Structure 1
């Protein structure tokens, strides 16, 4: 386990971690659960002809969605939730919401999904975040994510087959978190939710990741993080 200031990363099973916290301990939970569609590194690699593609270690964790108990514990320990892939988990969430988040990947005419959806517990209208994320094509910043930043050497490194960009988590914290919040991520993968929590300055962030390779990579990235994501000027 690493504890860097208010950021706690645990190399443990998510259910074991969740069961150790009292009811409504966290102000916000931001899970990016496995969807059960096989995007776990066997065939999902970063793509693009501008540089050598990243080859991920084949895994087998995305063969089925989480069991109901995971969702029950998540709702027990958190006051608010932003659940990525919520459209895959309607039968387990069991709560209607008008407050969906749409991440528009601005990926053009590729074969990849045009967007990803997140169910939220917030009483609001739907919100759209536009940030280009297709292989080597990445957005400039959270305000100009629909524009590709030109220097590929400045691209965020792809470390996880289902990685979400740091810019997305920065936007989430700015929109839905407060400095006094306690935040929970039950499977942080690349570690980007932890890095941006550190940069944003939440009161406490707790994340767990059972895979030792992902955990070690995320710890290294967090320890190297000193400044927020650069803002690229046009």
Structure 2
């Protein structure tokens, strides 16, 4: 956990899927509604700061494009920046450093100098793009885990989602799913079990003997899973 990059994102932005299309004077015109609320921005901001508190560097970088989208990204930026001053947090984020980065330059710097980041927080669309881009830094989308966390539930899933292009070939990398289970356990308070899962996965990757094709190996999905289970 302490040496990894964490990325948190809201479930709003363009993903509210309010789209329309109509025919105008010059042909078809498509529009999408982008929703950013103070409530959701504050909630994801508090989560980002809480996560940062658990890490050595204690740094949060707000990703936005408020120089262009001054209203929507402006609200997101201002709301997250205001989190440490909320009465309900009672100064518990005083030790957390706040940074900002425009989303386009953030992607560039992520590839050039990923070490400058710790916890990154962004609206949904930016989060989807950057989290997939970040997977290139570790070698494969098949390694990157995620969780969807609410007030009363948590659900783990790989960042890559499904892989219909390789369905039925038994070569999908199971390690992102396993790491997602570890994140889920850690979120639920079972840190010891999460550490065991992460350690087993790390050992399999370092040895490099049993890996799926996306990591340059020749093993099947079940073989990789069995190897992780053996090390547990």
TM-score, length-scaled by structure 1: 0.34
**Structure exhibiting the larger radius of gyration computed from Cα positions:** 2
Q: Greater relative contact order: 1 or 2 (C-alpha under 8 angstroms, separation 6 or more)?
A: 1
Structure with the higher fraction of residues in helix conformation: 2
